[in-house]
Amino acid sequence: MGRLTTHVLDTAHGCPGAGIRVRLYSESANEGRLLLVGEGVTNADGRCAEPLLSGERMKKGVHQLAFEVGAYFRAKGVASPDPAFLETVRISFGIADADAHYHVPLLVSPYGYSTYRGS
C-alpha cells in the first residue's frame, strides 16, 4: 500500500524541526488548481504522526508540500528580517506509483533548504 510521509530537520540548530505546520496540496486533482488534501504538525522527531496520504487517498499526480518554517524559526527566537527570507517552503513533486512509499524530507535553515526522495 502506498503512502506519503515527511520529516523536517533544522540544520541551523542540528535538531528535528518540531511543531512545523505542513499542508499537502494536489495540483492534479483540481485541473491544475491547488486543492488541500492533507495537513499536520511535525512531532518532537520532526515527523508527522500519520502519513499525509495513504490507501485510497494516495493518487498519482503532481502534489505540493507547504512547510510553515517562518513561524517555526520565530518561535525558536531566530532574528530575521521582515519579511523573513523563508516563510513557507513549497516543494512540488510527482507521484508516479500510487502503490509506492514516497518520503519527502526537508532540511531547512532560516536562509536555505534542500529536499530529496527518501526511503
Q: Where are the domains of the chain?
A: 3-115
pLDDT band at 32 (very low <50, low <70, confident <90, very high): low
Q: Give the DSSP letter of residue 7.
A: E
Enumerate residues 6+ apart whose C-beta is below 8 A from 11: 107, 108, 109
In this prediction, residues 38-54 reach a mean pLDDT of: 97
pLDDT of residue 21: 98
Mind listing the pLDDT tens digit for each residue in 83-119?
999 999 999 999 999 999 999 999 999 999 999 999 8
Residue 30 clears pLDDT 70, i.e. is over it: no
CATH of 3-115, picked from 1.10.3720.10, 2.60.40.1190, 1.10.238.10, 2.60.40.180, is 2.60.40.180
% of the chain with per-residue pLDDT over 70: 97
* pTM for the structure as a whole: 0.94
